[in-house]
Structure 1
């Protein structure tokens, strides 16, 4: 890991650390092939127009050089340690957009304190016309340096919008406006000013570092006509399962027996595949409805989407949490 300080104007400037992990934002097109990660944190910061005018002191850390899809839990645990060791006012993490919705929520769960931790990236690599990386990095640095952003937990800054890690989702494969959240952004940047409009409740802190129990989890999305065969097959290979169910928490009747059996052997989290809104508790009563499945031992994901529910479940299993502790952690999600 390389570290370098870049002093920008004021003697008593706000200090921000930028950690680069690779991803599209750090990629350039290669002769005879596709884009690959080549840019360091120094390169990313140097390419940001107008940064010198902010008065923010930036230190850079080239931490990993990987596509977002190849980041691991171990990489993020190491990053969390590094973040907690820097003496700055805020932190920016640049990475591939493939996993931003997962890594930001993981950092939200494993880090403590009020310091802003902001994750950003780019949908267009540095070799493309209209590359969005520099603008996103500048906005993220502004948010990380802002006193108004303290206490908001880990956030994702993209396209001048500030999203809470708990709610942010990547909803388009290629658009520069790929990141959205429900019930919406918690803030935005306009005329160089950071405006925080809402503050999510604090996430629980779960720290599996140093005593992690090997665990494997998976998300299974139910579909029309499912009979439970896939659920049973995946269940044989994992320590915990997230079911991405229809609507407010429903599955085909043919899946009920398989889920009942799995819930006796491991934590099975019931989430909605819609991506937003809560899993209900007692509105419907047919076999395979949310009330039926919860009565059979499944655990409600509450308002967490399946991807976020898996992150929380994985961390809990890595700390050897039992079923009751897992159920309590999910019940605390608003």
Structure 2
């Protein structure tokens, strides 16, 4: 059985100037990959910064990966840039239907620098992709020999090779002496039903609004006329200035509005505070509890749900899995 490798570009493939390494170049630079005893079948999909990736592109990769599984691949590895990896991994996790591992990785140091981390990350990802222990865990992110669940992983540093962490849970496993060790097995959640087609994705606009000090909400005017959904990154446990509460409540009467925290870890609350603009006040006004989801993942989930035609009850239920 083989490992299917899909390359999308990013720092791991940067070879100086505008030159980009192919998947064959990447695998040739990985000591120990042959010893896995699994052929690596490469498909070079794109060679772009991850800021240029799209939801539609990632859904196409998932389709291609599903075909690879049908053709006998034991697991999937995707290499890409790190800037949007936490979002693409979560997107894959919502739509990946197989028990086979789907592993995403990349690099923080490109191959022209001293100590590039790409080869080690790719080897660790390949080990996870062909490990029986990694089955039934959905999409995974492997960096620095740590294995992270897509629903929790975050890029927490702009330059460090230890940039990826899971603040709310920690890594669910590690690669130790070449062996994949799964330390925690979170239950797989219900994914997004159906397939978001390109036309529906194009027509589905979801805004992300970060609340700031002395926020007057002016940027939210007319948003329900141009967008089908909104994610709010509130203060702390899910708070906003009092003047902003009725604005968000009015929006929630027209489009789904999801409440998250801008802090980077922890959950929004439901009933601890009761002042105007508090979490309980906003939920009473119709906002949807985003639970432990960070704003970026919440936006991915809301857009997928809207693009597949889910209604308010289904959207609320999908987010309830993250409480």
TM-score range, shorter chain: over 0.9
Give the C-alpha shift of residue 236 in structure 1. 4.4
Given that 2:4 and 2:40 are in contact with CA atoms closer than 8 Å, whether structure 1 keeps it comes out as: yes
The equivalent residue for 1:184 is 170
Given that 1:228 and 1:256 are in contact with CA atoms closer than 8 Å, whether structure 2 keeps it comes out as: no
Give the C-alpha shift of residue 101 in structure 1. 0.3
1:136-215 to 2 correspondences below 5 Å: 136-181=121-166, 182-206=168-192, 207-210=194-197, 213=200, 214-215=203-204
CA distance in structure 2 between the partners assigned to 1:78 and 1:21 by the alignment? 12
Give the C-alpha shift of residue 287 in structure 1. 0.4
Give the C-alpha shift of residue 211 in structure 1. 7.4
Q: What do residues 205-261 of structure 1 show as CA deviations (whole Å, max 9, x unaligned)?
A: 223344752201121110111011123354543210000001111111111121011
**When the two structures are aligned, how many residues end up with a matched partner?**
316
CA distance in structure 1 between the partners assigned to 2:214 and 2:322 by the alignment? 31
Give the C-alpha shift of residue 322 in structure 1. 1.6
The equivalent residue for 1:72 is 54
Classify the secondary structure of the residue corresponding to 2:226.
Answer: coil
The equivalent residue for 1:118 is 103
The equivalent residue for 1:20 is 7
Question: Greater shift after overlay, 229-238 or 183-192?
Answer: 229-238
Give the C-alpha shift of residue 203 in structure 1. 2.4
Given that 1:20 and 1:93 are in contact with CA atoms closer than 8 Å, whether structure 2 keeps it comes out as: yes
CA distance in structure 1 between the partners assigned to 2:187 and 2:124 by the alignment? 23
CA distance in structure 1 between the partners assigned to 2:280 and 2:3 by the alignment? 47
Classify the secondary structure of the residue corresponding to 1:28.
Answer: coil
- RMSD of the TM alignment (CA)? 1.4
User: Cα distance 1:261–1:209, how it changes in 2: closer, same or farther (>3 A)?
Assistant: closer
Give the C-alpha shift of residue 332 in structure 1. 2.2
The equivalent residue for 2:300 is 311
CA distance in structure 2 between the partners assigned to 1:60 and 1:95 by the alignment? 14
Given that 1:108 and 1:165 are in contact with CA atoms closer than 8 Å, whether structure 2 keeps it comes out as: yes
Give the C-alpha shift of residue 38 in structure 1. 1.0
1:227-242 to 2 correspondences below 5 Å: 227-232=216-221, 234-242=223-231
CA distance in structure 2 between the partners assigned to 1:84 and 1:183 by the alignment? 29
Q: Which runs of 5+ in 2 are unaligned?
A: none
Q: What do residues 9-60 of structure 1 show as CA deviations (whole Å, max 9, x unaligned)?
A: xxxxx42111101111111221xxxxx4611111111111121222222111
TM-score, normalised relative to structure 1: 0.92
CA distance in structure 1 between the partners assigned to 2:298 and 2:187 by the alignment? 17
Q: What do residues 95-126 of structure 1 show as CA deviations (whole Å, max 9, x unaligned)?
A: 00011000001111111021000000001111
CA distance in structure 2 between the partners assigned to 1:243 and 1:322 by the alignment? 19
2:61 is equivalent to residue 85 of structure 1: no
Q: Which runs of 5+ in 1 are unaligned?
A: 1-13, 31-35
Moved over 4 A (4+): 233-236
2:24 is equivalent to residue 42 of structure 1: yes
CA distance in structure 1 between the partners assigned to 2:289 and 2:13 by the alignment? 38
CA distance in structure 2 between the partners assigned to 1:223 and 1:209 by the alignment? 33
CA distance in structure 2 between the partners assigned to 1:208 and 1:235 by the alignment? 25
The equivalent residue for 1:8 is none
CA distance in structure 2 between the partners assigned to 1:231 and 1:295 by the alignment? 20
TM-score, normalised relative to structure 2: 0.95
